[in-house]
């Protein structure tokens, strides 16, 4: 249960900015909103280290359409209601308002026995099957680039019921035909980027919706594996007034932008 | 009651080169940084560092030549400060071996050690290249169909944990997130606890369930106020963003890293410093001329 008040504002089209761009179509806001819309009330939802956008998305979903979402983090707080959003997503700020505390071991075990509904994960490289690389560029033993490592992904991706990938950069070096190393593979449901939302169907990523203002050509050239963008491919709905109001309340400091270096 | 209080210098002096060290905390939070600084001052070599998700501790031990290998799921400074520069450089240059784990396989290895069994099955890992590069075997399920990945025990020679409160005997109380600290304490051969405050153990009797690690597992207790700094320590202080940003910036090349370590790690005012003995501290710390 959440004790947060329902967000004010009306559902409907966002009011335009003076410059004519609809308010809230900046990449961080679009991504936070698109990720939040994928979450459902009652689900157990987990994110790990270095995950500001999933943090904002989970809190946004809980405030809007998923009041009984169970928010889980490495800090271990169950259903935390942070007073301020930290940039580090392991921060003790994510214990505030929690009424129970678990460990990271408990959370991996939860996923291992099939009870984790959603895990948010990311990759430095992501391929057309939704597999990811967070380990190395080049040779695994003597890499050209040693990346941070996959953290929980190799264990969570095959065991969480739904995995939502997010990545704040969408270009052909991120979305690649071939990974240098497969750190993790598994139950990818959606991939959210600054340009689009992919869904995984029959083992392949397909474009589910394209964000406002993104052309089919721009999306194709930014993606290293072949994708189909038909004339009928829907546009990701711009954030509603209610979504924007809730975001302003949850994330007034725009921590969601911290992943956009 | 045995009084296990000692100085940081003495506690760390008991760690031999080549030891496998489990470090408590997670990324920017409650890492045993004062102890790590002391490892650097004592010029330890050949260490294997075990952690699920490390940052400053792992990176500093790689940059100063103390670590030979890192068994971890993640090494990085999260979104605020980015990649771990010295870890990255040391692995790319071949000075440090990255034994990449999933965080869950670090936990599973520690659990095998805790439970005294020869290996631990782990769910997941399907489709990942990690089991092959780590040499994790697959076993047929003896009771049913299918296979499971099994990981060997991960037995740290020493676990170093920084906690908010401990008593002189070693009972250690952790406020907030415990991360893998309890598993590490149970899996390790020996445990060093550094604590913000050493308190009278009688005060734990009212709520012994808040003590995360019982004294009989602990070999040494060191009072180390601000001992997690520059990491944060829940209920005491936040991580030091200014210092961490300066550390990452200084890590852009060997020369500026060496200067930074000399000033901020080797020269920390008010910290007990051992005599270098073999002169190697100067070699690590002094700027090249």
DSSP secondary structure of B144-211: SSSEEEEE-----SEEEEEEEEEETT--EE--S--TTHHHHHHHSSEEEEEEEEEE-GGGGTT-GGGE
Distance of CA B101 to the CA centre of its chain: 15
B115 interfacial to chain A (CB closer than 8 Å): no
C-alpha distance from B82 to closest chain A C-alpha (Å): 9
What is the ipTM for the molecules in this complex?
0.91
Residue linked to tokens 């699920």: B52
Option in B122, B124, B127 nearest A182 (CB) = B127
Q: Phi and psi for B23 in degrees, rounded to 5?
A: -110, 130
Q: Check: CB of residue B204 under 8 Å from CB of residue B211.
A: yes
B27 interfacial to chain A (CB closer than 8 Å): yes
The confidence score (pLDDT) of residue A122 equals 98
The confidence score (pLDDT) of residue A22 equals 64
The confidence score (pLDDT) of residue B268 equals 61
Q: Check: CB of residue B217 under 8 Å from CB of residue B172.
A: no
Q: And the tokens for A70?
A: 């169970």
The confidence score (pLDDT) of residue A21 equals 58
A22 interfacial to chain B (CB closer than 8 Å): no
The confidence score (pLDDT) of residue A141 equals 82
A13 interfacial to chain B (CB closer than 8 Å): no
Question: Which run of H or of E encompasses B51?
Answer: strand B47-54
The confidence score (pLDDT) of residue A19 equals 52
Q: A74–B179: do the CB atoms touch at under 8 Å?
A: yes
- Residue A24 and residue A14: Cα distance in Å, rounded? 8
* Per-position pLDDT tens, chain B of length 289: 899 999 999 999 999 999 999 999 999 999 999 999 999 999 999 999 999 999 999 999 999 999 999 999 999 999 999 999 999 999 999 999 999 999 999 999 999 999 999 999 999 999 999 999 999 999 999 999 999 999 999 999 999 999 999 999 999 999 999 999 999 999 999 999 999 999 999 999 999 999 999 999 999 999 999 999 999 999 999 999 999 999 999 999 999 999 999 999 998 644 444 433 333 333 333 333 2
Q: B124–A90: do the CB atoms touch at under 8 Å?
A: no
* Residue length of chain A: 261
The confidence score (pLDDT) of residue A23 equals 75
Q: B126–A186: do the CB atoms touch at under 8 Å?
A: yes
The confidence score (pLDDT) of residue B81 equals 94
A100 interfacial to chain B (CB closer than 8 Å): no
B52 interfacial to chain A (CB closer than 8 Å): yes
Q: A152–B103: do the CB atoms touch at under 8 Å?
A: yes
- Residue B204 and residue B225: Cα distance in Å, rounded? 19
Q: And the tokens for A173?
A: 């070096």
- Residues in chain B with CB shorter than 8 Å from the CB of A56 are none
* Per-position pLDDT tens, chain A of length 261: 333 333 333 333 344 444 555 678 899 999 999 999 999 999 999 999 999 999 999 999 999 999 999 999 999 999 999 999 999 999 999 999 999 999 999 999 999 999 999 999 999 999 999 999 999 999 988 899 999 999 999 999 999 999 999 999 999 999 999 999 999 999 999 999 999 999 999 999 999 999 999 999 999 999 999 999 888 999 999 999 999 999 999 999 999 999 997
Question: What b/e sequence results for B99-137 when a residue is b if at least 16 CB atoms lie within 10 Å of its CB, and e otherwise?
Answer: bbbbbbbbbbbbbbbbeeeebbbbbbbbbbbbbebbebe
- Residue A64 and residue B67: Cα distance in Å, rounded? 48
Residues of chain A numbered 108-137 and touching chain B (CB < 8 Å)? 108, 111-113, 131, 135
Quote the pTM value: 0.92
Residue B180 CB neighbour total at 10 angstroms: 26
Residue from B274, B55, B21 nearest B160 by CA: B21
Q: Check: CB of residue B219 under 8 Å from CB of residue B187.
A: no
Kindly tell me the burial class for residue B82, based on how many C-beta atoms sit within 10 Å of its own C-beta (0-12, 13-18, 19 or more). middle
């Amino acid at each position: 249960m959440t004790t947060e008040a329902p967000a004010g504002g009306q559902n409907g089209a966002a009011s335009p900015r003076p410059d004519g761009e609809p308010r809230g179509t900046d990449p961080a806001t679009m991504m936070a909103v698109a990720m939040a819309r994928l979450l459902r009330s009652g689900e157990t939802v987990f994110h790990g280290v270095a995950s500001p956008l999933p943090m904002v998305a989970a809190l946004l979903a809980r405030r809007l359409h998923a009041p009984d979402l169970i928010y889980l983090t490495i800090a271990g707080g169950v259903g935390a209601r942070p007073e301020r959003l930290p940039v580090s997503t392991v921060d003790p700020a994510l214990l505030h308002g929690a009424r129970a505390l678990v460990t990271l071991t408990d959370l991996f075990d939860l996923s291992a026995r099939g009870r984790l509904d959603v895990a948010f994960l990311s990759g430095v490289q992501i391929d057309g099957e939704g597999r990811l690389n967070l380990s190395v560029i080049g040779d695994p033993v003597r890499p050209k680039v040693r990346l941070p490592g996959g953290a929980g992904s190799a264990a969570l991706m095959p065991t969480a019921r739904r995995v939502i990938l997010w990545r704040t950069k969408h270009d052909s070096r991120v979305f690649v035909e071939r990974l240098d190393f497969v750190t993790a593979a598994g139950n990818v449901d959606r991939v959210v980027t600054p340009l689009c939302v992919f869904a995984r169907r029959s083992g392949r990523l397909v474009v589910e919706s394209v964000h406002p203002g993104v052309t089919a050509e721009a999306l194709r050239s930014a993606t290293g594996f072949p994708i189909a963008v038909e004339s009928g491919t829907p546009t990701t709905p711009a954030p509603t007034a209610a979504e924007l109001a809730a975001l302003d309340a949850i994330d007034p400091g725009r921590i969601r932008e911290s992943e956009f270096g | 009651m045995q009084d296990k209080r000692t100085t940081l210098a003495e506690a760390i002096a008991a760690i031999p080169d080549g030891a496998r060290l489990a470090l408590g905390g997670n990324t920017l939070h409650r890492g045993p940084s004062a102890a790590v600084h002391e490892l650097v001052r004592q010029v330890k070599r050949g260490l294997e560092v075990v952690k699920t998700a490390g940052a400053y501790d792992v990176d500093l031990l790689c940059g100063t030549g103390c670590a030979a290998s890192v068994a971890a799921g993640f090494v990085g400074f999260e979104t605020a400060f980015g990649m771990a520069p010295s870890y990255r450089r040391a692995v790319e240059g071949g000075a440090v071996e990255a034994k990449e784990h999933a965080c869950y396989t670090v936990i599973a290895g520690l659990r095998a050690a805790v439970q005294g069994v020869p290996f631990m099955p782990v769910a997941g890992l399907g489709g990942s290249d990690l089991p092959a590069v780590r040499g994790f075997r697959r076993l047929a399920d003896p009771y049913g169909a299918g296979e499971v990945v099994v990981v060997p025990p991960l037995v740290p020679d020493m676990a170093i944990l920084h906690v908010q409160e401990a008593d002189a005997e070693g009972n250690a109380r952790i406020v907030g997130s415990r991360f893998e600290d309890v598993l590490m304490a149970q899996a390790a051969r020996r445990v060093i606890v550094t604590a913000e405050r050493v308190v009278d153990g009688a005060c734990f009797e009212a709520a012994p369930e808040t003590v995360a690690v019982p004294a009989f597992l602990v070999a040494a207790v060191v009072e180390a106020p601000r001992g997690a700094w520059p990491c944060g320590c829940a209920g005491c202080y936040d991580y030091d963003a200014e210092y961490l940003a300066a550390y990452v910036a200084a890590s852009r090349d060997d020369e500026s890293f060496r200067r930074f370590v000399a000033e901020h790690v080797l020269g920390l005012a008010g910290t007990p410093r051992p005599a270098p003995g073999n002169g190697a501290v100067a070699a690590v710390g002094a700027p090249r001329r």
